Structure 1
Amino acid sequence: MAIMDLSSLNNLNLDAGSIFLLAITICAFLIPVVVILPPVGLQKGDALLQTHTKAGVEGARSNLKNQFSAEEHAPADGKPPRVHSLVVYPVKSCRGIELARSRVLPSGLQFDRLFMFAQLKSPFPVAVDSTDAEKSQHKWEFVTQRQFSRLANVTVDLWLPDEMKLRKQSMRSDEAFLILRFPWKEDGWRGLFATIAAKLGRGRAAEPEIEVLLPVDFPSAAEIKEKGYTFENVKIWKETINALNMENELPDELRRYLGVSNKLALFRVDPEQLREVYRCAPSEEEAGYQPVTGFQDAYPLHLMNLSSVQKFSSEVPKDDDLKELDVLRFRPNIILSGAPAYDEETWKQIRLKPGSSSLYNDVSFHVSCRTVRCKMPNVDQESGLRHPREPDKSLRAQRAVDEGAPLMGCLGMQLTPLFDPSLGEDRAAWIAVGMTIDVEERGNHVYIKQ
């Protein structure tokens, strides 16, 4: 093997100018490559783009971008109130998805509150004379932004099969999927690389995140066995229901991100074991079927009137952490415009008519009761930060208006869908932005506690 001596090295003429020129040449070649093909990993949504379309109304197309304009949402002479926006929350207490239209089922809007997080809790305190079995008994209890405000930062994408895309791929499928995403950054060089990759792939403001892919449809018995899912009891408020535990789909990073010290699970509502709704809901004879719901707090749907939110917001003290009351803090499904403030609290039955959405038929709802608020609206749905006082303090002071819920603030109304008896078991309808509201019956509301 020949040995390169000093004179040979001198012949290479690798002076500083040559090295600089070589570096510039390499960068000039690499920069376009990085821009066109950034060195980032594929996201789960990238694969779904070939066969599915992401549901929802986003950004400049959102109907909620003008929600703070009193003039645009004030009542107009001779014009009925109208549906301004629709929102579903496929995973309870995570970020919602704004829609232009939605299917209405007996349990509420399609895709609403199909999943729910729960933590495994031990009985505490326990009686002195409790047995060892009683002391060691654990149970699943649902969790929301009330305990873990960072759930507001868990975004949910709904991907629906697109017939045109599937046809191009010579495929057939009716499967829909959810993608859960939450911020997560490792320490050290891994975190640095993830940050660079996120910004290259999704823009300067992007941050590293972890994704979880979930099928929307309830799994078959074979899939449940294959995936290792189990049916277990889970408590939601004062009710205990049997649902499908899919905890093995969750990365441990999510538990740590949320700050959950106990074991964390994700439950899927069983469509064969929905919760029956009583209290203020119409009876089975009145509704033509037994009202039911999934993982909603109490009733199938929740309605908010923008004029009411604006009126109440004007009475809430503002500070650097609370400048406006976003209607999404109150987790509504149907958001109205053009009704007088608090007029909805006199409604007992309403009918949504086609209005500008002439493709749809009338849909009726029983206005079951007021929505009694907890401290959850204190959480900013954009940042996931909880305000220490508001609007909970003002709700209790200004909106304790229901004799059935003394000292509790109320804002919004709970709805139960009503269906034409001729539909039989095929109870379903469509509602859409632009539909108008006809108030068919008015009356007084008295909340009945669980």
Structure 2
Amino acid sequence: MTMKVTALYVYPIKALRGIELKSAQIGPQGIDYDRRFMLYEVRPSTGELKKIQLDSHPLCALFDQQIVHFPGDGESSIIVRFLGICPAQGSATNDEENSLKVSLEPDTGSLSRVEVVLHDSPASAYRMGDSYDAWFSQRLGVPTILVYLGDGRRAVLGKTLLPKPKQQQEGWVSSLTSYITGSLQGASDAKSASWLTFSDVAPLLVASESSLRDVRSRFSEGDLIEMYRFRPNIVVDGEGEDAWAEDFWAELAVSPANGDGAEKHVLQLTGNCVRCISLNVDYETGKPAAGELGEVLKRLMKDRRVDAGSKWSPVFGRYAFPDCCHTDGCTVSVGDHAEVTRRNTERSVWDWPGL
């Protein structure tokens, strides 16, 4: 059944509000600029760095970010605006004080290195500097640093999350043929391209509108539960795919809406997105939501704990790797066709160590 892409999101600074896009350039590490920056809390007594995410720091929901291109100097930047009350000042500040400009591609020559860890997968990153740290620290109420991944790389630790080489997808006959023709080298190259930015465990997260409708049906005010709570990159919808059908999706092909015979861009869906308490955050207050809207995680736990590798966490969405590792990437737009081209017969099993 053919579906359509209904929404695209990018999160240049991890944990802050997403930016909705009409079109996105996608490469091996996902949407361009996605999660290239991250915030860490600095423990005063030890100097230890603790990741800042929505589950532990719900105030992140009050930081809006937009990508702005400045034609004069050719620079592209993130403009971050804080929509709440600055804890350090106890009152709202003016627009100029409450906005911060961050270059999307900063010059790392003058930046100091810092070793960071996300979900036990380490990376060497760059500290953006004191002025950025002070701005976020004042608003989050804890000592904070902003880091840029730059040329750093995080390893994929979950073995089942890694995309399978085409030879394994197509069976032993194709594998033998590929071996004889010497084309198995491509599988090795594809594996080497499977590294991460500050995305959790895979470059992309795919979600389904039909599953969101099922979630909403569990609440008297379900329409208030927006897709952005689930922080996907690509959202699809269409007739013929029931709620939670994506649990078994293994491959999704996306093609231009008006491009008969156009090349299809393939995503390999390798694992489930197991959920945490961040689903309960109120994006208007930067706090855990009150009433039933603060029970999204709890209500999903009743019947969505379907991954044997993470049996206490409900599943919503599928992690994906773009199958375009040897190209300059591809463009995906809202309205594009999306088709499930391969399905699993059994559910994926979560195996990221320690997470």
Query: How far apart are the structure 1 equivalents of 2:247 and 2:188?
Result: 21
**Which is worse superposed, 348-357 or 370-379?**
348-357
* Unmatched tracts of structure 1, length 5 or more: 1-78, 123-135, 167-172, 199-207
Residue 365 (str. 1) matches residue 260 (str. 2):
no
**SS of corresponding position for 1:150:** helix
Opposite residue 302 of structure 2, the aligned amino acid is: A
- TM-score normalised per structure 1: 0.65
Corresponding position: 1:243 with 2:125: yes
1:234 to 1:288, Cα distance in 2 relative to 1, 3 A? closer
Higher relative contact order (CA 8 A, sep 6+): 2
Aligned partners of 2:74 and 2:261: how far apart in 1? 23
- Match for residue 162 of structure 2? 281
* Cα deviation, residue 402, structure 1: 1.2
Residue of structure 2 in register with 1:300 after alignment: 203
Displacement of 1:356 after TM fit? 3.8
C-alpha distance in structure 1 between counterparts of 2:213 and 2:319, whole Å: 19
- C-alpha separation between the residues in 2 aligned to 1:434 and 1:107? 22
Q: Secondary structure at the match of 2:39?
A: strand
Match of 1:146 in 2: 55
Q: Which residue of 1 aligns with 2:170?
A: none
Q: CA deviation at 1:250?
A: 2.0
Per-residue CA deviation, residues 278-307 of structure 1 (Å, 9 max, x unaligned), is 522215627724211100111100011011
Q: 2:100 aligns with which of 199, 212, 227?
A: 212
Write the deviation string for residues 328-352 of structure 1: whole angstroms up to 9, x where unpaired: 0010000111132111111111111
**Deviations 1:226-257 (CA, angstroms, capped at 9, x unpaired):** xxx31111121222221111141326353233
Pairs within 5 Å for 1:246-265: 246-250=128-132, 252=134, 254-260=136-142, 263-265=143-145
Decide whether aligned partners of structure 1 residues 245 and 353 sit closer, same or farther in structure 2, where only a CA change above 3 A counts. Answer: same
Q: Distance in 2 between matches of 1:160 and 1:362?
A: 29
Shift of the alpha carbon at 1:313?
2.4
Hey, what does 1:347 align to over in structure 2? 249
Which residue identity lines up with residue 297 of structure 1 in the other structure?
A: D
1:312 lines up with 2:215 in the alignment:
yes
For residue 232 of structure 1, what is the aligned residue in structure 2? 114
Listed as ranges, the matches of 1:388-403 within 5 Å are 389-403=294-308
Choose which of 408, 429, 449 in structure 1 pairs with 2:313.
Answer: 408
Give the conservation status (yes or no) of the 8 Å contact 1:378–1:391.
yes
Cα distance in 1, alignment partners of residues 235 and 37 from structure 2: 22
Deviation at 1:447, TM superposition (A): 1.8
Matched residue, 1:428: 329
Q: 2: distance between equivalents of 1:385 and 1:357?
A: 45
Identify the residue that residue 15 of structure 2 maps to in structure 1.
93
Counterpart for residue 174 of structure 2:
none
1:191 and 1:314, CA in 2 relative to 1: closer, same or farther beyond 3 A?
closer
Matches within 5 A, 1:320-339: 324-338=224-238, 339=241
Query: Which of the residues 23, 26, 39 maps onto 1:104?
Result: 26
SS of residue paired to 2:300? helix
1: CA distance, partners of 2:9 / 2:84: 26
Give the corresponding residue for 2:149: 269
Letter in 2 for 1:269: L
Q: CA deviation at 1:148?
A: 1.3
Match of 1:387 in 2: 289
Provide TM-score, normalisation by structure 2.
Answer: 0.82
Distance 1:358-1:249 versus aligned 2 partners, 3 A rule: farther
Relative distance call for 1:286 and 1:347 in structure 2 (3 A) is farther
Residues 165-202 of structure 1 show CA distances to partners (whole Å, capped at 9, x for unaligned) of x5xxxxxx442111111146689xx979x66xx6xxxx
SS, match of residue 302 in structure 2? helix
Larger Rg: 1
Counterpart position of 1:52: none
Q: Which has the higher strand share?
A: 2
Q: Which amino acid aligns with 2:210?
A: S
SS of the residue aligned with 2:163?
coil
- Paired with 1:216 and 1:183, the residues of 2 have a C-alpha distance of 21
% same residue = 23
| CA deviation after TM superposition for structure 1 residue 414, in Å | 0.3
In structure 2, what residue type is equivalent to 1:447? W
Match of 1:306, as an amino acid?
Answer: E
* Structure 2 gap ranges (5+): 166-186
Alignment match, 1:113: 35
* d(CA) in 1 for partners of 2:11, 2:86: 29
Helix, strand or coil at the partner of 1:404: helix
**Pairwise CA RMSD of aligned residues?**
2.8
Q: Distance in 1 between matches of 2:133 and 2:113?
A: 20
Stretches (4+) displaced over 6 A:
184-187, 357-360
Alignment CA distance shift 1:276-1:314 (3 Å): same
Distance apart, 1:392 and its partner CA: 1.2
Could you tell me how far apart the structure 2 residues matched to 1:219 and 1:90 are?
17
Write the distance in 1 (CA, Å) between the matches of 2:277 and 2:203. 21
Is this contact kept in 1: 2:63–2:80, CA < 8 A? Answer: yes
| CA distance in 2 between partners of 1:255 and 1:247 (Å) | 12
Aligned counterparts of 1:357 and 1:138: Cα–Cα separation in 2: 54
CA distance in 2, matches of 1:401, 1:414: 15
